[in-house]
Chains A and B, each alone.
Chain A
């Protein structure tokens, strides 16, 4: 199981695959994600991500990937 430590996650959204349904934005417990100007999902508060996996499991288009930050990578 992935550790749920805040600030250790890298959230990647592939905009071409995102259809902007907003499920991830609605149910993200830490409000990491928001709609961008094009109506698609964008990562705005990555440091708050606790890697719960909800967005990844519920993205119907497989457009979000959450990984652990590589060692040495610091919170930006």
Chain B
């Protein structure tokens, strides 16, 4: 009988790692890992051809649990290592797992340049609006007015719109999903993995421990209810009058282009020289 659901996931987890994983009860990151595994399984990619490159933070801790080639790098730099891996061996499917602080603050420069050079990497940005692992300090994705350990009187700065940033920087594919809408997330993730060029998928994944408790969400379940109520399909969100948008945010695909990735353009350059050598 064909196996389904979590039985698939169990086959991809490292059997010599201790479970459950280190993340807090109700943390959406586990759901992201599950969705990632199902997406890879759906695409039929061999484990040997998948490289997970993770940054530092709660999201970075996911890599160790899954039986792919996994590289847990330095804070904010996952995309730089991934760039080297992809250029060195373009056959590999390189997937970056980064947090919002990781990808947008300390790694912001790498993020915009990876998008600009459109290198064939899947960038999954797990946005929980906070620095979780270090104890709940503000990140560039902490909403204006929200309370954090470093913004005890409310965040004064505006937050990044990750999607707009990636669109502006030139990514091939830009999308947003949530860990509540898992089926939709899986569809987006499959696209983000199989498409050429730089594909950015922002995943809204709640942190109840560090963000929710300081911002009126007593349990992780409340945060999932919030996701359920506020994530709107992009088209529906755009139809909504601005005054009625409130906390609502758009999910879905924002950009879908078919520009060749940097590694493909480099291969073309090399082909020109080898044709010259052989001819």
The answer to whether A and B touch in the complex, with CB atoms under 8 Å apart, is: yes
- The residues of A with any CB-CB pair to B shorter than 8 Å are 2, 16-23, 26-27, 53, 56-68
| Docked complex Cα distance between A61 and B20 (Å) | 6
- Beyond the given A53-B5, A57-B182, A61-B20, please list 20 additional residue pairs across the A-B interface where CB-CB is below 8 A: A17-B20, A22-B26, A26-B224, A56-B5, A57-B5, A57-B183, A59-B6, A59-B31, A60-B25, A60-B27, A60-B29, A60-B30, A60-B34, A61-B21, A62-B10, A63-B6, A63-B20, A65-B6, A66-B4, A68-B1
A64 to chain B, nearest CB (A): 6
B: interface residue count bin: 20 to 34
Most B CB atoms within 10 A — which of A56, A64, A68? Answer: A56
> Are B220 and A21 touching (Cβ within 8 A)?
yes
Q: Which residues of A contact B35 (CB under 8 A)?
A: 57
> Are A60 and B6 touching (Cβ within 8 A)?
no
Q: Pick from B9, B28, B182: contact of A62, CB below 8 A.
A: B9
Residue of A nearest to B32 (CB): A60
B19 interface residue (CB < 8 Å to A): yes
B13 interface residue (CB < 8 Å to A): yes
Residue of B nearest to A59 (CB): B6
Q: Pick from B4, B20, B28, B225: contact of A2, CB below 8 A.
A: B4
> Are B25 and A21 touching (Cβ within 8 A)?
yes
> Are B20 and A26 touching (Cβ within 8 A)?
no
Q: Which residues of B contact A65 (CB under 8 A)?
A: 5-7
B217 to chain A, nearest CB (A): 13
> Are B6 and A16 touching (Cβ within 8 A)?
no
What is the count of residue pairs linking A and B with beta-carbon distances less than 8 angstroms? Answer: 77
26 contacts between A and B (CB under 8 A): A16-B19, A18-B20, A21-B26, A21-B27, A21-B220, A22-B219, A22-B220, A22-B221, A23-B26, A26-B221, A26-B224, A53-B5, A57-B5, A57-B35, A58-B31, A60-B26, A60-B27, A60-B31, A60-B34, A62-B9, A62-B34, A63-B6, A63-B20, A65-B6, A65-B7, A67-B7
- The residues of B with any CB-CB pair to A shorter than 8 Å are 1, 4-7, 9-10, 13, 19-21, 23-31, 34-35, 179-180, 182-183, 219-221, 224-225
B275 to chain A, nearest CB (A): 49
> Are A23 and B220 touching (Cβ within 8 A)?
yes
| Docked complex Cα distance between A60 and B25 (Å) | 8
| Docked complex Cα distance between A19 and B219 (Å) | 13
| Docked complex Cα distance between A68 and B29 (Å) | 27
Q: Which residues of A contact B21 (CB under 8 A)?
A: 61
Residue of A nearest to B38 (CB): A57
B178 to chain A, nearest CB (A): 11
A59 to chain B, nearest CB (A): 7
Q: Which residues of A contact B221 (CB under 8 A)?
A: 21-23, 26
